[in-house]
């Protein structure tokens, strides 16, 4: 309890609300219940999933859509990502933040004609590739755009000696969960957050 109060004070001093990630394999027993009693609401249910890169390559053919890989995010990559996820702010600041990632990374774009319709990125580190920022424009869903991005990122991971891949998916994003299951990913654990109202 003392650590919870300490965290609340730490964040309050900085003008922010405390928010806790609850991952059962890593959290103290009973933490979730204690936070619920203190008025923290449950949010952002997520699934942490893994797959071998070879399995993903075997299960996710690139399909008919063209995919492009870059080593830094182009403006069109950001525009699709922000259109889907609704993040405000200056895209240049976000690009600067991603530019500070030191590991080998790739930014994939799936194209219909010359238009970028789906994006994702991967970061390789010690035999693993993390998949992040997957997003598909609504009008392109169901056309294999996300599959093309995932296939491109898996090929890149294999070329960078990353034999395994991991990603996080929101549990209420059924189309994404289906894509990842068909690609050979399986859940190793779930997690969620607890935040106070207004936090």
pLDDT of the chain, 199 residues: tens digit per residue: 778 888 888 888 888 888 888 887 777 888 889 899 988 999 888 999 999 999 999 998 767 788 999 998 888 998 898 898 875 666 666 777 777 777 799 999 999 999 999 999 999 999 999 999 999 999 999 889 999 999 999 999 999 999 999 999 999 999 999 999 999 999 999 988 898 865 4
Residues 42 and 57 in one domain: no
- The vertex-135 CA angle with 133 and 141, nearest 5°, equals 160
Residues whose CB falls within 8 Å of the CB of residue 44, separated by 6 or more in sequence, listed in order: 170, 192, 193
Residues 106 and 21 in one domain: no
Residues 41 and 51 in one domain: no
Residues 115 and 151 in one domain: yes
Residues 104 and 94 in one domain: yes
Residues 131 and 142 in one domain: yes
CA of 156: how far to CAs of 18, 38, 58, 59, 124, in Å? 37, 45, 14, 15, 9
Residues 28 and 56 in one domain: no
Residues 81 and 159 in one domain: yes
Q: Which one, of 1, 71, 12, 77, lies nearest residue 35 by Cα?
A: 1
Give the global pTM. 0.82
Number of domains the chain is built from = 2
Whether 132 and 122 have beta carbons less than 8 Å apart is answered as yes
């Amino acid at each position: 309890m003392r650590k919870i109060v300490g965290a609340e004070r730490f964040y309050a001093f900085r003008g922010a609300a405390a928010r806790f990630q609850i991952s059962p394999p890593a959290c103290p027993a009973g933490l979730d219940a204690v936070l619920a009693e203190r008025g923290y609401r449950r949010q952002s249910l997520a699934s942490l999933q893994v797959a071998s890169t070879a399995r993903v390559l075997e299960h996710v053919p690139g399909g008919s859509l063209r995919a492009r890989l870059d080593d830094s995010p182009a403006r069109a990559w950001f525009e699709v990502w922000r259109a889907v996820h609704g993040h405000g702010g200056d895209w240049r600041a976000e690009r600067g933040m991603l530019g500070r990632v030191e590991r080998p990374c790739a930014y994939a774009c799936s194209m219909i004609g010359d238009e970028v319709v789906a994006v994702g990125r991967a970061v390789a580190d010690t035999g693993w590739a993390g998949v992040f920022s997957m997003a598909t424009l609504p009008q392109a869903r169901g056309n294999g755009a996300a599959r093309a991005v995932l296939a491109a990122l898996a090929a890149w991971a294999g070329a960078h000696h990353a034999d395994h891949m991991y990603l996080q998916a929101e549990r209420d994003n059924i189309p994404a969960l289906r894509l990842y299951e068909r690609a050979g990913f399986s859940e190793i654990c779930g997690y969620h957050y607890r935040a106070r109202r207004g936090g």
